[in-house]
Structure 1
Amino acid sequence: MAEQQAQSGRRVTADDVTGVSPAAGDGGPESAPGRAASRRGGLLRSGLVVSVMTMISRVMGLVRDVTIAALFGAGSGADAFFVAFKIPNFMRRLFAEGAFNQAFVPVLSEYATQRTREEVRELLDAVSGSLTLVLALLTALAMLAAPWLAWLFAPGFGRDPEKLALTADMLRLTFPYLLLISLTAFSGSVLNTWNRFAVPAFTPVLLNLVLIGAAVWLTPWMAVPSMALAWGVLIAGAAQLAFQVPFLARQGLLPRPWPRFRHPGVRRVLWLMAPALFGVSVSQVNLLLDTVLASLLASGSVSWLYYSDRLVELPLGVFGVAIGTVILPALSKRHAEQSREHFAKMLDWSLRAVLLLGLPAALALVVLAEPLLVSLFHYGAMTDHDIVMASRSLRAYALGLVAFMLIKVLAPGYFARQDTATPVKIGIVAMVANMAFNLALILPLAHAGLALATSASAFVNAGLLARGLRRRGVLVFQPGWGRYALQLTGGCALMVGGLWWLSPDWHVWLDWSVWRRAAWLAALVVGGAATYFAWLWATGVRLRDFRLQG
């Protein structure tokens, strides 16, 4: 039956590809249940699903970081691990979740809406096989070149041969994570394209759980305690991939990997992927440059940047990445259907959603920098001096949080249209700006200057992305932005004033027990959020205003 339909030229839907009937529940993008789900909540519903799962992951990530801070503080072992983990993690975000995801999802969406079932399956087989082969070779080379990679990404460690050697040893364990997590990202991209957002969003929880377990239970068995974390990364990569495989199989989307670089879909993905390496992942390149330069500064600088970056990553992942995750497949489908008006409305919706949550989150991080760091990390090996230093970089990163979020939703506006040339040009400009800001700010502000430079370059990136979309006529601001801006400004002002007035001096927090810190911090967060959203409700903002069909 399916073959007859394909031969007749009928457009094959996502349900044809998965083999799932409309009665199976959460249907594909063209299924009746999928359309019903869109009417009930659409992008808002999908975004909330991803946000909830991401929130669980980020909270567990904070627990992980609290555990690492208590056991290892900001010493040489922690610095070595953060560099050894940052290198494959950076490449994961650059290739798997950055360039590859942005190139693969639009091509897959096009195949899913315009091609036959067998053509979609051939694409999945060819892409997964080609990706596996390339990453396996890259991983083998990286493991052989671990000492040189460690020095390249942390040249300051050259002053301490033991620290550099430890970083290289850890890198041999952490780099295979790139292969495993990239295949996990491939699986997640497929599931997201079929509107299965929950599983990929929950998967990072496994990384945090495994790392916590490794830190607690493997550390006593290691000659070098921090090596337990490197083993944890390797185990976590395998666990995350294994977790997603059954869900792909259930949807009939489990590929049979076989490298086929001449496959038209693979060539299209590679063509789009090459310039995308400098597109949406520019912020990750900037963060890696921060690590390189931080290794030249005082010992602990890498860790201070890491801990502050982790706090910024919480709202960025829960809000910015979540919205970007659901918006890319939706924009890709609208572009394939040539629905220009709906495309523009989706972009406008994503900007409003980012500002709704990003602005108060950024301001709260600035006001509550020390209380947050004390409550989460001031245990065991973490010192008062570490809190002071980390708070400086936290405030600097927080100033760029809105820009980081805007990049996550503006870049898909290009990638959904299979335009990766423009973001690469913008990315190069942003990278050059970041280096200029680094050189200007590193001497007066040390590691905090690096964080501030990253934030400044993010605004350059986001601004140029928005201007390009406006010129192409696909970013069209819908009516009501003036009133919306006043509503957000008033809510943020009330929230900041309340937090500033109610929060005790951060030195007082040092003498409190963990439970008192947690209670006060929870009260401030809940009170600030209640004030902000109460103001928005009083001035006319309603949840239904953010419902948009995907």
Structure 2
Amino acid sequence: MSEETQVEKVTPARRGLMGSGLIVSAMTMISRVLGLARDVVIAALLGAGNGADAFFVAFKIPNFLRRLFAEGAFNQAFVPVLSEYSTSRTRQEIRELLNATAGSLTAVLALITALAMLGAPWLVWVFAPGFGRDPEKLALTADMLQLTFPYLLLISLTAFSGSVLNTWDRFAVPAFTPVLLNLSLIGAALLLMPLFDEPAMALAWGVLIAGVAQLAFQVPFLLRLGLLPTPWPHFAHEGVKRILKLMAPALFGVSVSQINLLLDTVLASLLAAGSVSWLYYSDRLVELPLGVFGVAIGTVILPALSKRHAEQSNAHFAAMLDWAIRVVLLLGLPAALALAVLAEPLLITLFHYGAMTDHDIQMAAMSLRAYAFGLLAFMLIKVLAPGFFARQDTATPVKVGIVAMVANMVFNLLLIWPLAHAGLALATALSAFMNAGLLGYLLRKQGVLVFQPGWGRFAWQLIGGSVVMSVGLYVLAPDWQAWLEFDLWQRVSWVAALVVLGAGVYFAWLAAFGLRLRHLKMHS
């Protein structure tokens, strides 16, 4: 085969899934830490008042659609098709797919963005109907949404670029890109807020700036691979039609947890002032381990599973899924327990400054514990869903997603009255467990998920280490009221000491009972 028709071999030697996962985790950790720093700044400057509520809704709407279209349905449909092209098609065919996909994605999202900006007030009313009781709050949110909604187009093209880079095993760049969003929002909060009569409006400008910066950041890396597309809409292209066919059901299948979180926002807007912000701050803490562990493993496993499916390597496919579940449990269970035990100390250390009150901390801690209960389920969904999408099966997850969404609505109605905003968080957690459980059951039933030897011993190692760690944190951590009297450095020092101690006890237990790093290796 001539050089012009060969598939471009730009992929480096395989470093293994654990190595790739560690790279994504490290970059994601930087992003999430800066994200927490961003939220510390926002909490100190805006607290949990009307301005904060308005911004969180104005940002949540395009961010929700981003996760649905970009990192959700589009990514799960695009990566398997692109992986197949990368293993069996020519360079020219790959470029034609990239051009057609980028052009079609741009055309659709540009139209959606224009319509959303024109109908911003009605869109806000749909997503936060409780804001209708306060015309000024509704108008402020609508003004912000007109600035934040173009972020959907920009970040979706960024996610498209990241999917290409991930397929060619360039995981670090897409994982680092969200850092630019956090830097933009921190800069907007510190530098632009004094320029506005409504300080929260500066954050909306920060979101728009971040969208441009993130897309521009990835362009040089696509150029280096020779994979920068020339966007041109071509909905009749064979690859685009397959992506669209896979996307339709994937809109529900992979993004159920995001839809459930959005339902929380809708209902929270009907509750006491501050409810939207309490859920936001608690969700942000849960997003740290979810992103660093769950999303990282899901990111590296999807292209690897897609390639194994294209090669019809069923045994390797099953072993990868088993490995992903073990890693998620190994890291997710202690993280969830630590969040529950240290809910108030973590919230106080990060957010109890300026406009953030003691009452806000107590309310946010309630929803944080509820979200922490569902953390394992959120993470398992991230690694189980690729087991279907890698095989280009989007019908099954959508059925599971519909069941989980209906269950979430029922749980919301049952729990919102006795537990208010915390009931909404608990409902999301319960529906996530239903979602993950059904996905795992169906993968087993289809013979795709085959548990490898050693699960009994692994379970005892995991449970024992988690219990010992949790008891140690509960006994050693000062009472949460004492944290209110600590200054910043005391708070940070205590949190750092508890995190190091908890991690040390946990991993020491695992090592003492025979778990070694080599047991977690898995080649891609």
> Which residue identity lines up with residue 432 of structure 2 in the other structure?
A
Which structure 2 residues correspond to residues 454-533 of structure 1 after superposition, within 5 A? Answer: 454-533=428-507
Answer yes or no: is the 8 Å Cα contact 1:14–1:194 preserved in 2.
no
Residue 390 of structure 2 is aligned to residue 390 of structure 1: no
Answer yes or no: is the 8 Å Cα contact 1:347–1:475 preserved in 2.
yes
Give the superposition deviation at 1:13.
3.9
Match for residue 152 of structure 1 among 119, 126, 130: 126
Q: What is the CA–CA distance in structure 1 between the aligned matches of 2:216 and 2:516, rounded to whole Å?
A: 41
Residue 399 of structure 2 is aligned to residue 429 of structure 1: no
> Which residue identity lines up with residue 509 of structure 1 in the other structure?
W
Answer yes or no: is the 8 Å Cα contact 1:494–1:532 preserved in 2.
yes
Q: What is the CA–CA distance in structure 2 between the aligned matches of 1:461 and 1:212, rounded to whole Å?
A: 35
Q: What is the CA–CA distance in structure 2 between the aligned matches of 1:178 and 1:305, rounded to whole Å?
A: 22
Counterpart residue number, 1:230? 204
> Which residue identity lines up with residue 496 of structure 2 in the other structure?
A
Match for residue 94 of structure 1 among 68, 86, 91: 68
> Which residue identity lines up with residue 178 of structure 1 in the other structure?
L
Counterpart residue number, 1:357? 331
Counterpart residue number, 2:24? 50
Counterpart residue number, 2:176? 202
Q: What is the CA–CA distance in structure 1 between the aligned matches of 2:3 and 2:352, rounded to whole Å?
A: 63
> Which residue identity lines up with residue 374 of structure 2 in the other structure?
G
Deviation readout 1:112-169 (Å, 9 max, x if unpaired)? 1011110000000000000000000000000000000011100000110000000000
Counterpart residue number, 1:380? 354
Q: What is the CA–CA distance in structure 1 between the aligned matches of 2:319 and 2:8, rounded to whole Å?
A: 24
Residue 222 of structure 2 is aligned to residue 248 of structure 1: yes
Which structure 2 residues correspond to residues 177-188 of structure 1 after superposition, within 5 A? Answer: 177-188=151-162
Give the superposition deviation at 1:280.
1.0
Q: What is the CA–CA distance in structure 1 between the aligned matches of 2:468 and 2:451, rounded to whole Å?
A: 27
Match for residue 49 of structure 2 among 67, 75, 78: 75
Counterpart residue number, 2:242? 268
> Which residue identity lines up with residue 326 of structure 1 in the other structure?
V
Q: What is the CA–CA distance in structure 1 between the aligned matches of 2:361 and 2:522, rounded to whole Å?
A: 42
Q: What is the CA–CA distance in structure 1 between the aligned matches of 2:7 and 2:335, rounded to whole Å?
A: 40
Give the superposition deviation at 1:2.
3.5
Counterpart residue number, 1:63? 37
Q: Which runs of 5+ in 1 are unaligned?
A: 7-11, 16-26
Which structure 2 residues correspond to residues 280-299 of structure 1 after superposition, within 5 A? Answer: 280-299=254-273
Residue-pair matches, total: 524
Answer yes or no: is the 8 Å Cα contact 1:106–1:415 preserved in 2.
yes
Residue 89 of structure 2 is aligned to residue 112 of structure 1: no
Give the superposition deviation at 1:223.
1.6
> Which residue identity lines up with residue 344 of structure 1 in the other structure?
A
Match for residue 535 of structure 1 among 509, 513, 519: 509
Counterpart residue number, 2:374? 400
Q: What is the CA–CA distance in structure 1 between the aligned matches of 2:2 and 2:289, rounded to whole Å?
A: 44
Residue 163 of structure 2 is aligned to residue 170 of structure 1: no
Give the superposition deviation at 1:14.
4.3
Which structure 2 residues correspond to residues 279-318 of structure 1 after superposition, within 5 A? Answer: 279-318=253-292
Q: What is the CA–CA distance in structure 1 between the aligned matches of 2:482 and 2:381, rounded to whole Å?
A: 38
Deviation readout 1:33-72 (Å, 9 max, x if unpaired)? 42xx33xxx0000000000000000000000000000000
Counterpart residue number, 1:450? 424
Q: What is the CA–CA distance in structure 1 between the aligned matches of 2:2 and 2:29, rounded to whole Å?
A: 40
Counterpart residue number, 1:123? 97
Q: What is the CA–CA distance in structure 2 between the aligned matches of 1:386 and 1:415, rounded to whole Å?
A: 40
Give the superposition deviation at 1:277.
0.3
SS at 2:354 equivalent:
coil
> Which residue identity lines up with residue 498 of structure 1 in the other structure?
G
Q: What is the CA–CA distance in structure 1 between the aligned matches of 2:253 and 2:283, rounded to whole Å?
A: 21
SS at 1:386 equivalent:
helix
Match for residue 344 of structure 1 among 315, 318, 321: 318
> Which residue identity lines up with residue 429 of structure 2 in the other structure?
S
Q: What is the CA–CA distance in structure 2 between the aligned matches of 1:185 and 1:438, rounded to whole Å?
A: 32
In the superposition, relative to structure 1, how do residues 300 and 326 fare at CA in structure 2: closer, same or farther (>3 Å)? same
Which structure 2 residues correspond to residues 33-48 of structure 1 after superposition, within 5 A? Answer: 33-34=12-13, 37-38=14-15, 42-48=16-22
Answer yes or no: is the 8 Å Cα contact 1:334–1:340 preserved in 2.
yes
Deviation readout 1:494-516 (Å, 9 max, x if unpaired)? 10010000001000000110000
Deviation readout 1:185-204 (Å, 9 max, x if unpaired)? 00000000000000000000
> Which residue identity lines up with residue 274 of structure 2 in the other structure?
G
| Structure 1 runs (4+) greater than 4 angstroms displaced | none
Counterpart residue number, 1:20? none
Match for residue 544 of structure 1 among 509, 518, 522: 518
Residue 400 of structure 2 is aligned to residue 420 of structure 1: no
In the superposition, relative to structure 1, how do residues 69 and 194 fare at CA in structure 2: closer, same or farther (>3 Å)? same
- TM-score normalised by L of structure 1: 0.95
Answer yes or no: is the 8 Å Cα contact 1:14–1:113 preserved in 2.
no
SS at 1:255 equivalent:
coil
SS at 1:277 equivalent:
helix
> What fraction of aligned residue pairs are identical, expressed as a percent?
78
> Which residue identity lines up with residue 482 of structure 2 in the other structure?
V
- TM-score normalised by L of structure 2: 0.99
Q: What is the CA–CA distance in structure 2 between the aligned matches of 1:508 and 1:476, rounded to whole Å?
A: 49
The CA RMSD over aligned residues, in Å, is: 0.8
Q: What is the CA–CA distance in structure 2 between the aligned matches of 1:412 and 1:48, rounded to whole Å?
A: 19
> Which residue identity lines up with residue 186 of structure 1 in the other structure?
F
